[in-house]
Amino acid sequence: MRFLFFALLFFLGQLLFAQQDSLPPLEKTDSITKGKPRFIKQKEEEEEEARTVSITDYKIISYARDTITLDTTLTILKEYKYNFLRKDDFELMPFSNIGQPYNTLGRTFSNNWFYPHMGAIAKHFNYFETRDIDYYNVATPMTELMFKTTLEQGQLLDALLTFNLSERFNFSLAYKGFRSLGKYRFDQAQSGNFRTTFNYSNKKDNYNLRGHIAAQEIDTEENGGLLNREQFENDPEGDFTDRSRIDVQYQDANNRVLGKRYFLDHQLKLLNIKRDSTDNEPTTLTIGHEFNYETKLYEFIQSSQTDAFGLDPFVTPIEDKARLKTMFNKVSTKFSNKTLGNVTGSVSLYNYSYFFNSILVTEAGTIQNQLEGEEIAIGGGYSKKFGRLFLEGDINYSVSGELTGNAFNASVSYQINDNNQFSGFINASSRMPNFNFLLYQSDYQNFNWQNTAVFENLQTQSIGFGFDSKKLGSLEAEYSAIDNYTYFESIATQEQIDSAQETAFVKPFQEATTVNHLRVKYTKEFKWRNWALNNTVLYQDVTQDKQVLNVPQLVTRNTLYFSTDAFKKAMFLQTGVTFKYFASYNMNAYNPLLGEFYIQNREEFGGFPMLDFFINAKVRQTRIYLKAEHFNSSFSEPNFYSAPNYPFRDFVIRFGLVWNFFS
């Protein structure tokens, strides 16, 4: 602790007295204009003013082409996002080590993918999907460095460099890498996520192009959780406060996700009719093409057999490998008019190949080694703004292929006034379950199945609304009805469970009856002088004939914090305490072989508070973070779990920074 304090003090001193302004203003010198005619001076001053760069000239563009300005402020929302995922993890429950899975506390069913995923969902929280990649438009080269300490022998670094090769061509390089040994035996996690993006538009601005390449590897050791919970929960002598002494299920298993993706999206504007130079909504006709090619590997490797996955494997060592190759092409056209709005139409072709190395022949039948085919789908969309009212909708329908499905989305928003906005949406979708529900092969005999002939489309209908008010807060509500809900469950007997074989009998199932899910989320911050209380509350209710969807009824997070300027306003400081709590419920269990969570209805977990104390500071464009995580664990009962047999992390102090600098 003493070392950390002096290191932080030294670092703050360097920032306060040595750092230069990240965005220096252009200097004006008398020698430039001295002795020149007045009109030349005025012209040069205007050109110099036009070249002045501000923070608003650094833009971030999402996959959906929404644009935001780079934000270097320090807010409580930045505190919530300063974590391994770099997004608000309010509805997630992390495991003890950084980079391990997250259990899900809140569910949302309105944003379903049109095509099935590979599976191993628990291993994909740190995987950058196509929609997670951002593009940049910057005035000068910009660098962002995010650093944070991990747990035992490791660090986390996310580095981004983006620059403009010309006024209309932007390029970026990014790499997120980390390693963390963890507090428990054989719990190491590490990953590397490389991304590079580019975007271009020509001088006429009638052609634009963007694309990215992503190469990712996520590698984790798996120990199966606690072998004996008594060592964690009942330790009067304190022999197991050193968590590396606690016995775990096994110490010879690893799983890994490898992925490579090539993405290209370009558009050509064929028609651009303006009524006059001030017309901001001209009549346009645009054609576009989107291309996406991705290969992915999920593997589970274990050097020897363990009873946790079955007594009699086909071969040892265990080397399970599932592969997925996909190629997506979509051709679209868009017509835009001030009177009619925006109308789009598209045709897409999706090729997929999900496969294993060999065909498996058993007494129950033959399990094939591959699912492959192509899907042809048509789609359309419409959007229009009527004053304060904005309407938007899209539809996709599969006309050919065995993964037949459809999706319909419609939304409306109304700006009541400058302080209040109302929104609503309707969503309906139908698609096949993820590939690992349909087909899976393993060297362990219990993990081999093919359900292509028996599993039906997962069907979801959702309706929701939102109300956002600067005075009253933000309220979101969503109701979903799910048919053919697909899940993993263990069919182990009590005797097998007592023998630590519950995970050996996990299999996929579909629920025949409708599952109804309601969620209501409310967010509001109260301020008084330099003090603020930020509150987020989530309520959920599930109606079901069989208990297949388990979520806590209540999740809450409340942060009391204080903000002030310091060192003659050279530093902005925020410090406070965050309280997080979720009601006890039948928390999902984790299966490392599948990389999936499965339902269990034998015991409840949760109902314990998590308290974090933080001190954050901002010096120019640098945000510094220091946090004491779960500090109440040092004086509370050891009943905190992230999943059955997987404890949540103990009290730990971590620090780091986010630094933007410009050239």
The CATH number of the domain holding residue 361 is: 2.40.170.20
Is there a single domain that holds both residue 465 and residue 605? yes
What is the pLDDT at residue 41? 52
* Closest CA relative to residue 480, chosen from 511, 519, 513: 519
Is there a single domain that holds both residue 18 and residue 165? no
What is the pLDDT at residue 403? 85
* Closest CA relative to residue 378, chosen from 411, 404, 341: 404
Positions of E strands within 23-129: 59-61, 67-69, 92-94, 102-104
What is the pLDDT at residue 28? 38
What is the pLDDT at residue 281? 80
Is there a single domain that holds both residue 167 and residue 143? yes
Phi, psi of 234 (to 5 degrees): -125, 90
Q: What span, in angstroms and rounded, lies between the C-alpha atoms of 621 and 140? A: 15
Domain count, the chain: 2
Which three-class secondary structure state does DSSP give residue 332? strand
Is there a single domain that holds both residue 297 and residue 158? yes
What is the pLDDT at residue 467? 97
Residue that the structure tokens 């709005």 belong to = 341
Which three-class secondary structure state does DSSP give residue 295? strand
What is the pLDDT at residue 276? 67
What is the pLDDT at residue 563? 97
What is the mean pLDDT, run by run of 10 residues, along the chain of 663 residues?
42 42 42 45 51 86 94 95 95 95 95 88 96 95 96 92 92 96 95 97 93 97 94 87 93 96 96 75 93 97 94 93 97 94 96 94 86 95 94 94 90 95 96 96 95 94 96 96 97 91 96 96 97 98 96 98 94 97 97 97 95 96 96 91 96 95 87
What is the pLDDT at residue 25? 44
Q: What span, in angstroms and rounded, lies between the C-alpha atoms of 640 and 633? A: 8
Is there a single domain that holds both residue 538 and residue 410? yes
Give how far Cα 153 sits from Cα of 97, 102, 222, 458, 609, Å: 12, 21, 18, 43, 28
Is there a single domain that holds both residue 503 and residue 531? yes
Is there a single domain that holds both residue 21 and residue 62? no
Q: What is the CA radius of gyration of the chain?
A: 27
Is there a single domain that holds both residue 562 and residue 602? yes
Is there a single domain that holds both residue 120 and residue 106? yes
Is there a single domain that holds both residue 20 and residue 72? no
> What is the Cβ-side half-sphere exposure of residue 308, based on CA atoms within 13 angstroms?
21
Amino acid letter, 487: Y
Which range marks the domain in which residue 138 is found?
A: 53-223+231-662
Is there a single domain that holds both residue 101 and residue 140? yes
Is there a single domain that holds both residue 327 and residue 344? yes
